[in-house]
């Protein structure tokens, strides 16, 4: 019941009907209370994680390092709130236009995500290897990302957006707006915060609106699976397509092993709104141990290597029409790559 009440409260706060300033009147004090609680119990928490690591003979101290990463994230939240307020006030004081203000917010977001990614990779203790790259074109692009962990949003920012200085608009669950820093900057920039399984037409309209507001060389990120992967979810997704889908699509759905069959509606809206866009796929393995926060706390990512493959499909090379069959085929190629690499 408590979980249900908490979920209902979060859904109400992140609802489009709730004004942003009302939401922040709740989330920023919650951040303050969390910070105060952790500050008062920090020595106890550090002692507990140290004992936990040493009892398990994990002398690299993975759980303690994750606790430090959580502290860094809280500092990052406060820095995001402060920078958001400073950017807002500077825009008013300097009478900046909307485009100039957006450029400043994009640069702040870039540096913020870079700093957190560097801290997380060091403290949580993982390495990153990248094969392939975003091709040096000025085309708009749609970015597909495999979704396996809580850190995936930072992966795309630091492998695609930041190194290439390209803006990424994100299609994300609206519950992420409980993060004040993400709420402040995410609401100012072209992004789509949607709720799964509720008001499909409204969600698709948000995705279309985001795509229409992208910069000329920007990208739109969407997770084709719609949620983080698990074997139970894969089996259920295949069953649903077999119950309601076309026979050909149902047969293809049964071929997926390491990923969920794609939810194609959002991608089709993006391709419809951005008819000349390329498709970029960021596939990866190695973060399967970070599905939930408890997995990360147990050291599930410590010593792991995140292996990334970036595949850039030019608009001209994409199959036409880009219907469900074509999108399933493109995603099946990514599943085959994972199988070839014998992911766990």
Element spanning 305, H or E: strand 305-313
**Residue 5: its pLDDT value, please?**
72
Four-point Cα dihedral 224, 293, 210, 222, nearest 10:
-10
pTM of the predicted model as reported, rounded to 2 decimal places: 0.92
**Residue 118: its pLDDT value, please?**
96
Element spanning 309, H or E: strand 305-313
Confidence of residue 223 (pLDDT cuts 50, 70, 90): very high
Mean pLDDT of 143-168: 93
DSSP 138-179: ---EEEEE---STTHHHHHIIIIIHHHT--EEEEEEGGGGGS
Mean pLDDT for the chain overall: 91
Confidence of residue 293 (pLDDT cuts 50, 70, 90): confident
pLDDT tens track for 96-155 = 888 899 999 999 999 999 999 999 999 998 999 999 999 988 899 999 999 988 888 899
pLDDT tens track for 3-26 = 567 777 778 888 877 888 999 999
pLDDT tens track for 233-290 = 999 999 999 888 778 898 999 999 999 999 999 999 999 999 999 999 999 999 888 7
The answer to whether 77 touches 106, Cβ cutoff 8 Å, is no
CA atoms of 113 and 221, how far apart (whole Å): 16
| Cα end-to-end distance, the chain, whole Å | 35
**Residue 295: its pLDDT value, please?**
83
pLDDT tens track for 169-198 = 999 999 999 999 999 999 999 999 998 777
Residue scoring higher pLDDT (27 or 294) = 27
The answer to whether 162 touches 110, Cβ cutoff 8 Å, is yes
**Residue 163: its pLDDT value, please?**
95
**Residue 344: its pLDDT value, please?**
64
pLDDT at 2 > cutoff 50: no
**Residue 230: its pLDDT value, please?**
86
Query: Which DSSP letter does residue 311 get?
Result: E
**Residue 3: its pLDDT value, please?**
52
Share of the chain above pLDDT 90, in %: 74
Question: Do the strands 305-313 and 127-131 form a parallel or antiparallel pair, or are they unpaired?
Answer: parallel
Mean pLDDT of 198-212: 92
DSSP 90-101: HHHHTT--HHHH
């Amino acid at each position: 019941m408590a979980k249900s009440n908490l979920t209902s409260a979060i859904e109400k706060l992140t609802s489009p009907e709730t004004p942003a300033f009302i939401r922040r009147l709740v989330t920023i004090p919650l951040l303050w209370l969390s910070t105060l609680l952790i500050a008062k119990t920090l020595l106890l928490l550090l002692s507990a994680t140290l004992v936990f690591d040493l009892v398990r003979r994990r002398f690299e101290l993975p759980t303690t390092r994750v606790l430090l990463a959580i502290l860094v994230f809280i500092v990052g939240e406060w820095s995001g709130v402060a920078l958001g307020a400073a950017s807002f006030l500077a825009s008013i004081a300097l009478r900046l236009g909307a485009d100039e203000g957006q450029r400043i917010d994009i640069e702040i977001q870039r540096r913020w995500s870079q700093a957190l990614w560097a801290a997380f990779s060091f403290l949580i203790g993982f390495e990153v290897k990248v094969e392939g790259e975003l091709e040096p074109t000025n085309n708009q692009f749609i970015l597909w990302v495999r979704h396996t962990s809580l850190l995936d949003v930072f992966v795309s920012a630091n492998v695609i957006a930041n190194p290439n200085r390209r803006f990424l608009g994100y299609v994300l669950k609206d519950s992420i707006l409980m993060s004040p820093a993400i709420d402040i900057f995410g609401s100012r920039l072209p992004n789509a915060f949607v709720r799964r399984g509720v008001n499909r037409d409204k969600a698709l309209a948000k995705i279309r609106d985001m795509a229409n507001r992208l910069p000329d060389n920007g990208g739109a990120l969407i997770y084709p699976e719609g949620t983080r992967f698990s074997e139970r979810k894969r089996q259920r997704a295949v069953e649903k397509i077999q119950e309601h889908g076309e026979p050909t699509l149902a047969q293809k759905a049964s071929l997926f092993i390491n990923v969920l069959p794609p939810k194609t509606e959002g991608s089709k809206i993006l391709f419809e709104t951005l008819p000349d866009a390329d498709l970029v796929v960021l596939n990866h393995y190695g973060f399967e141990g970070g599905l939930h926060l408890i997995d990360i706390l147990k050291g599930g990512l410590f010593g792991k290597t995140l292996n990334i493959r970036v595949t850039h499909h030019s608009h001209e090379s994409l199959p036409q029409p880009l219907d469900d069959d074509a999108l399933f085929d493109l995603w099946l190629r990514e599943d085959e790559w994972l199988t070839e690499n014998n992911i766990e």
